[in-house]
Amino acid sequence: MGFGNVSERLAQPPRVGVSVVIVALGPAGSEGGRSRLWLPLVRRVRQPHLGRWALPGGDLRADRSLRESAYLALESTTDLHPRCLEQLHAFGDPDRSRGGLPMVSIVYWAMVDRGEARDFAERDNVRWFPEDALPELAFDHRRIVDHALRRLRERIAYPELVTRLVGPEFTLRELHAVAEAVSGADVDLANFRRRMLAGGCLEETGEKRREGRQRPAAVYRYVRAGERSFEDGPMGGAPAASDDSSDVSGRVADAMAPLTPSA
């Protein structure tokens, strides 16, 4: 199992892999409070780090885009089909595989909704773990997970993201619960509701749903801003140009601090 001496190793071209940090909302912990984030991990079946839990991933496929490679790797290891898959970061420092071959990982970031998370059958080598009770991870995957969770928390205030963690249709209360779970803090429900609605990305389906045993709540679905489905008014929708590598950072910045005056 030797890889040769140091200089031989350094002469090797680096291998390129894709890994995915997937998150889904799952049940709460022991204290029975809010729900938590859970992530699926796979157990390594070969050296190095045999037996350790790791992020799902695989080799980059030369005939596919990075994103497709990530999707395929995910599909083949976990059967999950995330609703959002976005590039997070590339990791490639020489010490990350600790004695193995040099390895570059392009890490993607994904979210699946509750429905899919439930359907997902655990196997011996694939299991969900709650965010705050992860096992020891292989390689530098712990750092990667932390990086991803930090990013998620920064952006959870945007409808685009929260809605990914619930099903395609949801009530505002469900969304609210997600926001609280991810951020780990109390969020004022009244204001949350207004903020979401103000974004103009939520469309009422017309249905109602009862969560407790009381008054039923309106059900919404997510639509990209400006893409109302007919019936209300003019506003000839701008196509919202979603180019391939659309990531959320655009929206984030919009909301933050546009320097430019109205002009």
Partner DNA sequence: ACAAAAGTGTTACAAGTACACCCATGT
Partner DNA sequence: ACATGGGTGTACTTGTAACACTTTTGT
Q: Measure the CA–CA gap between 127 and 214, rounded to whole angstroms.
A: 36
Residue 253: φ, ψ to 5°: -65, -40
At closest approach, how far in Å is the CB of 106 from DNA?
A: 33
Q: Residue 250 interacts with its own copies (CB under 8 A)?
A: yes
Strand partners, 105: 17, 91
β-bridge mates for residue 59, sequence order: 17
DSSP assignment of 14-44 equals: PEEEEEEEEEEEEEE-TT--SEEEEEEEEE-
Binding residue for its own copies (CB under 8 A) from 27, 94, 115, 168? 94
- Whole-angstrom CA distances from 22 to 38, 53, 81, 135, 247 are 8, 14, 10, 16, 16
Round to whole Å and give the CA distance between 217 and 211. 8
Cβ atoms of residues 174 and 164 within 8 Å:
no
Q: Among 208, 151, 155, 150, which residue's Cα sits nearest to residue 179?
A: 155
Does residue 155 bind DNA (CB under 7 A)? no
And the tokens for 143?
Answer: 């750092």
Q: Is 225 a binder of its own copies (CB under 8 A)?
A: no
Task: Give yes or no for residue 99 binding its own copies (CB under 8 A).
Answer: no
- For DNA, give the closer residue by CB, 72 or 189: 189
Q: Give the closest residue to 113 by CA, choosing from 175, 67, 58.
A: 175
Interface with DNA, residue 261, by CB under 7 A: yes
By CB under 7 A, name the one of 122, 154, 211, 247 that touches DNA.
Answer: 211
Q: Of 44-52, 128-136, 154-162, 227-235, which segment contacts its own copies by CB under 8 A?
A: 154-162
- Span of 20-28, 29-37, 144-152, 212-220 interacting with its own copies by CB under 8 A: 144-152
Question: CA-CA distance, 6 to 96, in Å (whole number)?
Answer: 15
Contact between 257 and DNA (CB under 7 A)? yes
Window of 6-14, 25-33, 122-130, 215-223 that interacts with DNA by CB under 7 A: 215-223
65 near its own copies (CB under 8 A): yes
29 binds, among its own copies, DNA, none (CB under 5 to 8 A by kind): none
The answer to whether residue 260 forms part of the interface with its own copies (CB under 8 A) is yes
In sign, the C-alpha dihedral spanning 19, 22, 28, 31 is positive
* Least separation in angstroms between CB 203 and its own copies: 22
Which residue number, 114 or 155, has a Cβ lying nearer to its own copies? 155
Quick check: 215 binds DNA (CB under 7 A)?
yes
Angle between helical axes of 141-155 and 172-183 (0-180°, round to 10):
130
Q: Which is nearer to its own copies, 65 or 125 (CB)?
A: 65
Which of 66, 217, 219, 225 touches its own copies (CB under 8 A)? 66
Residue 194 binds: one of DNA, its own copies, none (C-beta under 5 to 8 A by kind):
DNA
Contacts to DNA by CB under 7 A: 171-173, 188-191, 193-195, 198, 208, 210-218, 255, 257-259, 261-263
